[in-house]
């Protein structure tokens, strides 16, 4: 089974039922419902071998990764650390800019200067064009 064939399988809008089946299968695996096996069997009957393979893979992964619960000691320590942790002060925009590497700040400065120069050139050009058109109208009417 190739990844490209699977991705094309789920891009088709007419195959929405496959996405829905995958979501229902994932929900059944999380809950521990035997419905996941029934869904895989339904795929086998309908001839959807790639989808059946994908569902079987999801079931194998779910069986290989048993649920883990944290110990009471870990939960208590984490709770204490989170409750007693110092709140971080919000960093201003200027502070964030100052933390950037020098190379990035120089590049941003050059980009800002270029943008500013472009806006100034466009503004002065349009002003000169407007003044030039006004002079031309005066010369034509005179």
In a domain, 46, yes or no: yes
Alpha carbons 25 and 30: distance in angstroms, whole number = 9
In a domain, 78, yes or no: no
Of 22, 47, 64, the domain-final residue: 64
Residue-level length of the chain: 142
The answer to whether residues 55 and 106 belong to one domain is: no
Q: In sequence order, which residues have a C-beta less than 8 Å from that of residue 5 and are 6 or more positions away? A: 50
Q: In sequence order, which residues have a C-beta less than 8 Å from that of residue 51 and are 6 or more positions away? A: 9, 18, 21, 22, 43
In a domain, 70, yes or no: no
Per-residue pLDDT of the chain (142 residues; tens, 9 = 90+): 444 444 554 555 557 778 888 888 888 888 877 777 777 777 777 777 788 888 888 888 888 888 889 999 999 999 999 888 877 777 888 888 889 999 999 999 999 999 999 999 988 887 777 777 666 666 566 5
Measured between alpha carbons, how far apart are the two ends of the chain, in Å?
Answer: 83
The helix (run of H) or strand (run of E) holding residue 69 is none
The answer to whether residues 10 and 57 belong to one domain is: yes
Whether 21 and 39 have beta carbons less than 8 Å apart is answered as yes
Q: Which residues constitute the domain of residue 132?
A: 98-141
Q: How many domains does the chain have?
A: 2
- List the structure tokens of 98: 């100052």
In a domain, 93, yes or no: no
In a domain, 11, yes or no: yes
The answer to whether residues 59 and 12 belong to one domain is: yes
Q: In sequence order, which residues have a C-beta less than 8 Å from that of residue 36 and are 6 or more positions away? A: 25, 28, 29, 55, 59
The answer to whether residues 56 and 9 belong to one domain is: yes
In a domain, 85, yes or no: no
The answer to whether residues 8 and 56 belong to one domain is: yes
Whether 36 and 59 have beta carbons less than 8 Å apart is answered as yes
């Amino acid at each position: 089974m190739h990844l490209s064939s699977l991705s094309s399988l789920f891009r088709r809008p007419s195959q929405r039922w496959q996405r829905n089946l995958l979501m229902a299968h994932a929900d059944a695996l999380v809950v521990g419902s035997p419905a996941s096996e029934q869904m895989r069997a339904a795929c086998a009957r309908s001839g959807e071998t790639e989808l059946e393979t994908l569902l079987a893979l999801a079931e194998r992964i779910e069986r290989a990764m048993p649920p883990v619960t944290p110990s009471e000691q870990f939960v208590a320590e984490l709770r204490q650390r989170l409750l007693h942790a110092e709140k971080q002060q919000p960093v201003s925009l200027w502070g964030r800019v100052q933390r950037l590497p020098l190379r990035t700040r120089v590049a941003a400065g050059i980009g800002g200067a270029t943008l500013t120069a472009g806006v100034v050139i466009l503004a002065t050009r349009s002003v000169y064009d407007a003044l030039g058109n006004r002079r031309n109208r005066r010369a034509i009417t005179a």
